[in-house]
Structure 1
């Protein structure tokens, strides 16, 4: 069994589902039980580091998405000796920022990054805890594309394979300029049927 398979199994055993959160009828995949055991966090963090070394060996920055992407990314950046850069919702970052506004089902939202932190010479890994509908991750790609900053890897701890996140992300990646080839990788792929097997609180 590969290290990724072992971590995948560990994630599945530790996750919990919270029914009726944030509203009635919604089943929320809760990653916070992963953080209750330091050994679990170390295993996941080590696997993230290894995947970046494998799939994006020239990475110079890890760009994490608000908010749970921040739980892993600074540790990973420290281990790899690269920059940690947050992408946040509008109004959360001080100083001059660059932004990208994207459409939601009802209305719109905006993501921002601090100006000048990343250069066109950087090789960026976009990271988040879960790839679900792909809205924020796609917006992050679009924001970096707008700034002519190449994304070499989009990396997630968990991907909900029954949702449209990967397809949406692939569409955004097609708009990158140049001949950049970007890998999308998730450590744990969870189907709709497998969600039913995760313990409910």
Structure 2
């Protein structure tokens, strides 16, 4: 199955010049969704992962499904103020301004092996912020995996320079 054919491109969203890669068309395709979950679960099924962490919001969909398939727990990384209880947060820079992501302070035990999943890697800022949180809680990141890698934006390379193993099911370049 060609996953790229199931991903819709929306030009000039959320601003002019951006080619938004929309996975909702992939998600509504039962076989496409099944293939994504199966591919990621098979890849990491023998990796000794203890928990799957997903980044808000589309990353939740895939990460929770993969966690279920692997028989593991799911941990959300959310934008500031969305999680109840005690959280640990990390600020990171965006193209224009900054943002903050948070995780429950009791979500990961020291030494747990973590698979970090999101729908898409662009510049890598949000994924890097999530790795900081996981590390602060003592988690060991096995891999950072994505459905889509926007190669030209360098997020994949950014995470690799930090020492993380990355994987994507498909990629887009120069668009």
TM-score between both structures, scaled by the size of structure 2? 0.93
Aligned counterpart in structure 2 of residue 71 of structure 1, from 61, 67, 78: 61
Partner SS state of residue 9, structure 2: strand
* 1:79 to 1:158, Cα distance in 2 relative to 1, 3 A: same
Question: Structure 1: which 4+ aligned runs deviate by more than 3 Å?
Answer: none
User: Structure 1 residue 95 and structure 2 residue 85: aligned?
Assistant: yes
| Alignment partner, residue 170 of structure 2 | 188
What does residue range 28-47 of structure 1 map to in structure 2 within 5 Å?
28-47=20-39
Could you list the runs of 5+ residues in structure 1 that have no partner in the other structure? 1-5, 175-181, 196-201
Could you list the runs of 5+ residues in structure 2 that have no partner in the other structure? none
| Alignment partner, residue 150 of structure 2 | 160
Residues 160-195 of structure 1: per-residue CA shift (max 9 Å, x gap): 111110222234x34xxxxxxx42111112222xx4
Larger Rg: 1
Partner SS state of residue 123, structure 2: coil
| Alignment partner, residue 179 of structure 1 | none
Output the CA distance in 2 between the equivalents of 1:86 and 1:77.
12
* Length, aligned pairs only: 175
CA RMSD of aligned residues (A): 1.5
User: Structure 1 residue 22 and structure 2 residue 14: aligned?
Assistant: yes
Output the CA distance in 1 between the equivalents of 2:17 and 2:168.
27
TM-score between both structures, scaled by the size of structure 1? 0.82
On the 8 A contact 2:112/2:138 being kept in 1, the answer is: no
Structure with bigger strand share is: 2
| Alignment partner, residue 177 of structure 1 | none
Residues 57-88 of structure 1: per-residue CA shift (max 9 Å, x gap): 21000000010001111111111111100000
Q: CA deviation at 1:104?
A: 2.4
| Alignment partner, residue 149 of structure 1 | 139
Q: Which has the higher contact order (CA 8 A, sep 6+)?
A: 1
